[in-house]
């Protein structure tokens, strides 16, 4: 926060404290490594120091982290990336996350489906798009079995040359409705998106660049340095200009989420329920 404004808050009193980096960086340390330099926040997903493993716990943490990061006025640019050479690990899912159909009825609490399937899925996208008001850069550092929508929702998306983007839902008998589908529809158009939703064909980095899903493709070693280079260039501009430009860049995503996120997720859950996977 600009010092003169912070000093004024302190003088007049009554303002509620905003989140502090020192606190939330530790709060989410199990899922993210956070570093900040001159207002540029690098958020690196991880599990035990290696590539992030998808699971219900990190699914829950994502949306909460976006909210606190967005509410910290000392954050000026966000770089989002993964660990190693994978965005999210392509193997070794946590055992409880491998077969939702078997696990849902007896082993999980009655409110699990709403709290950790529907609510978390809504908030992890809503809080990113509506709750983060600073320029965002994704450094898509490799392939992922899902959830590359975060990278696509960022203002600028850089991809490692071995990265892939895919939506895995339909070949598994699940409706593609929890986020990636709407980023593909917005960025690719109706026909191209439908093809990738039905086939789950991986979109490699050069194709993603050609289709307009990413802005640059680089060797992995050059990915984060390039993200920081762009972030520093953005950070040199006036604070209001940075934040209002982000608002302009995010406007189409906000419209798309309002129109389609709840619709898509409700249909995904309805399809699972109709297949009796959740009892």
* Beta partners for residue 218, in sequence order: 160
Four-CA torsion 163, 164, 165, 168, nearest 10 degrees: -130
Q: Which of 42, 68, 149, 186 is catalytic?
A: 149
DSSP string for residues in 127-174: HHHHH--S-EEEEE-S--SS--HHHHHSSEEEEETT-EE---TGGGT-
Task: Report how far residue 195's alpha carbon sits from residue 180's, in angstroms, rounded to the nearest whole number.
Answer: 13
210 is catalytic: no
Q: Is residue 268 classed exposed, middle or buried when 0-12, 13-18 and 19+ CB atoms within 10 A define those classes?
A: buried
Task: Report how far residue 7's alpha carbon sits from residue 13's, in angstroms, rounded to the nearest whole number.
Answer: 10
- Determine contact, residues 271/136, Cβ cutoff 8 Å: no
Active site residues: 149
């Amino acid at each position: 926060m600009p010092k003169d404004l912070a000093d004024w808050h302190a003088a007049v009193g009554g303002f509620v404290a905003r989140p502090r980096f020192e606190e939330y960086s530790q709060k989410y340390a199990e899922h993210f490594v956070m570093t900040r330099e001159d207002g540029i926040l690098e958020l690196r997903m991880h599990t035990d120091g290696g590539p992030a493993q998808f699971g219900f716990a990190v699914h829950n943490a994502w949306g909460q982290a976006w909210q606190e990061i967005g509410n910290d006025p000392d954050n000026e640019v966000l770089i989002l990336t993964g660990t190693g050479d994978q965005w999210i690990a392509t193997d070794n899912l946590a055992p409880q996350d491998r077969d939702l159909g078997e696990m849902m009825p007896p082993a999980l609490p009655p409110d699990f489906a709403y709290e950790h399937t529907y609510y978390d899925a809504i908030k992890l996208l809503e809080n990113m798009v509506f709750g983060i008001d600073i320029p965002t850069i994704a450094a898509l550092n490799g392939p992922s079995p899902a959830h590359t929508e975060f990278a696509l929702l960022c203002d600028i998306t850089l991809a490692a040359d071995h990265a892939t983007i895919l939506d895995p839902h339909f070949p598994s008998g699940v409706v593609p409705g929890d986020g990636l589908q709407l980023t593909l529809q917005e960025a690719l158009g109706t026909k191209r998106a439908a093809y990738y939703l039905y086939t789950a064909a991986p979109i490699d980095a050069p194709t993603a660049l050609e289709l307009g899903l990413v802005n640059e493709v680089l060797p992995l070693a050059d990915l984060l340095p390039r993200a920081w280079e762009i972030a520093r260039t953005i950070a040199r501009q006036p604070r209001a200009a940075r934040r209002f430009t982000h608002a302009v860049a995010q406007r189409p995503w906000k419209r798309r989420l309002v129109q389609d996120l709840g619709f898509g997720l409700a249909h995904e859950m309805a399809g699972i329920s109709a297949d009796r996977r959740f009892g």
